[in-house]
Structure 1
Amino acid sequence: MRQLFGGGGGAPDPEALARLSGMNIDPAMMQTIMSQLQGAFTAGSDGIPWDMTTRGALHIANQDGLSVTSGQRADLDQAFSLANLWLGEATTVSDLATTPRAITRGAWVEATLPVWREMAEPVATSITDALTRALSEQAPEEMKALVEGAGRLMRTVGGSLFASQLGQVVGNLSKEVVSGGDVGIPLMPDGEAAILPQNFDDFGRDLEIPDDQLALYVAARELAHARLFRHARWLRLHVISQVTEFARAIHVDTDALEDLATRFDPSEPEELRRALESGALLPPRSDAQNAALARLENLLATIEGWVDVVTENATSRLPSAVRIAEAVRRRRAVGGPAERALGSLVGLELRPRRMREAAAMWRAVTDAVGIAGRDSLWDYPDLMPGADDIDDPSALVARLQARERGEEPARDEMDDALERLLSGESDEAGPSGEDDPDRPDDPRPV
């Protein structure tokens, strides 16, 4: 810490702190971050400085200083308007209550940061706890008391490292995403749809597809995504809760961190920054984490498959629709550098591997029961297709067709249990309905 603060206990050394953050930002911005860090030290805060994430992400997002021009806004407004009409024929899910808009990268950062924070907080807390514990254990004996008394300071340093790194990832991601739903999870506020013109231009530059067709396709896909989450109010919470469930199960590899702590030099923190970026501090996933990740991937694939099919139907008039759809799928499958960095930072891959299979399921359902029957599966959580339906949609199709014919669905164990509960029967009764004399709590003698 003496090396970091200039060796004399005075003002912090900006170059040392810039290397520590790994953000490579200008001196004015670094001075602001140093002031925040000093304030945290003075106040003794032991939380994660999320305002550092916000400032870092906005600094990167606003580096080019580009705003949305009136021409870009007019073009995208027209694309949103026509895409809305086409979606009215492709889905029964209702229109948005708010007007879709063209936004800057900085506006995207500000709109989505609350969700990023919610996803990253469990991992950030795990890292700061492990860093405090590891550095305390590795301290020389004569400094044990000092280090234990400076626990909040250690947590502030670890939290600042993670917060600045997350800010860098989100800031770089703002240069890659084309629309609000581009990442696949509900990052935008409920019922809002948006396109980033700066990134839209970059996306279409090498595709050799007319801009108006590309804008119509992207607008239709973004509106379908936003419409779905507005219609199924429970879906947003369902996705976020599964993401946070996965994140809470993440723990730092203390052996790797302790090994790093033995070599840690505050004046040369590149190794710690690289460890955070590469995911080296996150141990291999446990069986429980793999199961949680599989559930999340199936959920995202189910959502994205529906969006894919609805967008395909809505844009069937576009001559280049098939080429655009393939370009979007390819882009989602590969992912950008910032998306991969996010996976390393929080251990979560947001690319649904089963989107093609899920899209095939939705097409089969549409062919069997029509658009209204398909979209009714989003009315309640218990109606939504599961992983087994993605593997083989025939059973789901048969159930939906039987319901259309007015047939009673086949009874299952849940139906039997509910009937017994409503009729006042006890599940503990034997086959004849009488109490089982072998039960240990039966008052009658055996």
Structure 2
Amino acid sequence: MTDPSDHDLPGDDDFAEMLRRMLGGQGGIDPEQLQQLSAMGIDPAMMQNIMRQMQAAMAGDDGDESLDWSAAKTQALHIANRDGLGISAGARTEFDQAFALASLWLSEVTTIAELAQTPQPITRGQWVEATLPVWQELAEPVATSISDALMAALESQTPEEMRSAIQGAGRLMRRVGGALFAGQLGAVIGRLSLEVVSGGDVGIPLMPTGEAAILPQNFADFGRDLEIEEDQLALVLATRELAHARLFRHAKWLRLHVISQVTDFARGVHVDTDALEELASRFDPSAPEELKAAIESGALLPQRSEAQVAALTRLENLLATIEGWVDVVTADATARVPSADRIAEAVRRRRAVGGPGEQAMASLVGLELRPRRLREAAAMWRAVTDAVGPAVRDRLWDYPDLIPTAEDIDDPAALVARLQASERGEEPERDAFDDALAALLDEEAAADEPSGTERDSSAGDGEDGPEDPRPV
């Protein structure tokens, strides 16, 4: 780090005055002060950017501590739109036709109704606009944790003589910390927009309910090394996307179910303040690579708790159950496509090694969205389809308590047996839960019954008892 004795540096009073001006929104730093900051090893452009964010934060409502996500949107759109590519008329026609045929094929193999809205090809920028609200919802718990930890670390590292300069700036530092995280989120979403092929590509419901889309700009990259005809690839991917969108439109509770499980995990994430403070104690503004690497690698996020591990397991099973159904329905609908099996295997391989959504969420909240049990879940749905048909299979999505569990993925035969028995009108076999519930209800009924003495007393002693209501 630069030795202050080698330069004509601002004194504590001058630096404190600069901070006061920034915190108070009193204009910019003059060129001479910028030169002094440069001599200290601080990037003047970075300082000006931080100053603008801080002044914007100060301009807001004093009582509003919500995170400002505008930086995320700006950064994401900058990356998504940097090549300026749109959608050609030929590509739009190709995918419109693929969606139309895929919709007809899907209606032959599933009872879940088609979408009310017409699916369409979209640009990377349109994908950012459509999915950003969900990314914000998923990332906000961690953004809050990071911004609070940053405030605490800065306060602990601020010299005593400088604390008066930042007195009362706690709310501001939270918002600035949130803005820094939002910028990182925007960069991740922007890079993600260069890779995703469809709205349901990352497994979680990012698109608005009932909407399906494909990104032609990324479609060619996905199929470049597969040596498969583009029309076949478009048909299979359009079918997968429609199946995913139809499922979430049909099971309206499913979207909230998935997102709530992700946010349950994210709320358990807490920044390792000891690691952050230790990093801040040796931080060199002229070489910020260490801090950048720590944020990107997740080094500031502690090991998962037992509750987080359990939440992650539940989420993995749920995502595998969803994608397993999509796999089976897509395979049945595209049986006419010669390369359908090869395309399906390419999709599974891409998801198994950790698709773009996994890297995005892992860098933000330490969460990997990898459906580790996808093949087992698909095998379960295949067994159900073969045994009881699409109609019975699809009814399992009608209510949350009907969807297959992790135990059903482990033992599809037991699930098939229950469904077949139900179709025959037989009562389902009692299990441990049924026995426990019956015992609990029996206990409550016994507690509500009057005692023997009370029953005798209420019956009377003969002469004073109630008259016999029967006619003589």
Bin for the TM-score computed over the shorter chain: 0.7 to 0.9
CA contact (8 A) 2:103 2:114 kept: yes
1:55 aligns with: 74
Is residue 2:106 matched to residue 1:106? no
Distance in 2 separating the partners of 1:346 and 1:136: 24
* One-letter code aligned to 1:16: D
Match of 2:258 among 212, 219, 239: 239
Question: Could you tell me which of 39, 43, 48 is aligned with 2:56?
Answer: 39
Q: 1:435 to 1:232 in 2, by over 3 A?
A: farther
Larger radius of gyration: 2
Query: Could you say which residue in structure 1 is the equivalent of 2:196?
Result: 177
2:444 pairs with 1:427: yes
Residues 203-222 of structure 1: pairs in structure 2 closer than 5 A: 203-222=222-241
Instruction: Tell me the residue number matched to 1:248.
Output: 267
1:159: Cα distance to partner?
Answer: 1.4
Task: Give the Cα–Cα distance (whole angstroms) in 2 for the partners of residues 416 and 334 of structure 1.
Answer: 42
After superposition, residues 106-125 of structure 1 pair within 5 angstroms as 106-125=125-144
| Separation in structure 1 between the aligned mates of residue 341 and residue 203 of structure 2, nearest angstrom | 20
Give the aligned partner of residue 417 of structure 2: 398
User: Contact between 2:57 and 2:176, CA under 8 Å: does it hold in 1?
Assistant: no
Aligned length: 423
Matched, 1:77 2:96: yes
Q: Secondary structure at the match of 2:43?
A: helix
Amino acid at match of 1:157: V
1:276 corresponds to which residue? 295
Q: Return closer, same or farther for 1:76/1:259 CA change in 2, 3 Å cut-off.
A: same
1:167 to 172, 178, 186: 186
Matching of residues 372-383 of structure 1 within 5 Å: 372-383=391-402
Residue identity matched to 1:429? A
Distance 1:9 1:428 in 2: 80
**Tell me, which stretches of 5 or more residues in structure 2 are unaligned?**
1-14, 23-28, 453-472
Higher mean displacement: 364-373 or 172-181: 364-373
Distance in structure 1 (CA, Å) of the matches to 2:273 and 2:322: 36
Matches of 2:357 and 2:256, distance apart in 1: 25
Write the deviation string for residues 377-396 of structure 1: whole angstroms up to 9, x where unpaired: 00111000011111111211
**2:332 maps to amino acid:** N
Give TM-score, length-normalised by structure 2: 0.83
In 1, are the aligned partners of 2:77 and 2:128 still within 8 Å (CA)?
yes
* Counterpart AA for 1:190: T
Residue 146 of structure 1 deviates from its aligned partner by 3.4
Of all paired residues, the percent bearing the same amino acid is 68
Q: For residues 396 and 221 of structure 1, what CA distance do their matches in structure 2 show? A: 25
Structure 1: unaligned runs, 5 residues or longer: 21-29, 437-446
* CA shift for structure 1 position 328: 0.7
SS at match of 1:176: coil
Q: 1:37 to 1:412 in 2, by over 3 A?
A: same
Cα distance between partner residues in 1 of 2:133 and 2:32: 39
> Offset at 1:293?
0.4
Aligned to 1:16: 43
Q: Is the 8 A contact 1:428 1:435 kept in 2?
A: no
The answer to whether the 8 A contact 2:53-2:176 is kept is no
151-160 or 293-302: which moved more?
Answer: 151-160
Q: Secondary structure at the match of 1:406?
A: coil
Q: CA deviation at 1:322?
A: 0.9
Counterpart among 205, 210, 220 of residue 201 in structure 1: 220
> What's the CA shift string for 1:308-343, capped at 9, x where partnerless?
110011111111111111111111122356742431
What is the RMSD computed on CA atoms of the aligned residues? 2.9
Counterpart residue type for residue 316 of structure 2: E
Please identify, of 265-274 and 72-81, the stretch whose mean Cα deviation from structure 2 is larger: 265-274
Read off the aligned partner of 2:57 and give its amino acid letter: A
Say whether the 8 Å CA contact 2:196–2:356 is kept in structure 1: no
Preserved contact between residue 103 and residue 239 of structure 2 (Cα < 8 Å): yes
| 1:357-405 residue CA offsets vs partner (Å, 9 max, x unmatched) | 1001101111111111111100111000011111111211111010011
**TM-score computed with the length of structure 1 as normaliser:** 0.87
Rate the CA distance shift 1:74–1:49 in 2: closer, same or farther, 3 A: same
Change (3 A) 1:146 1:35: closer
Shift of 1:6: 7.3
Match of 1:89, as an amino acid? E
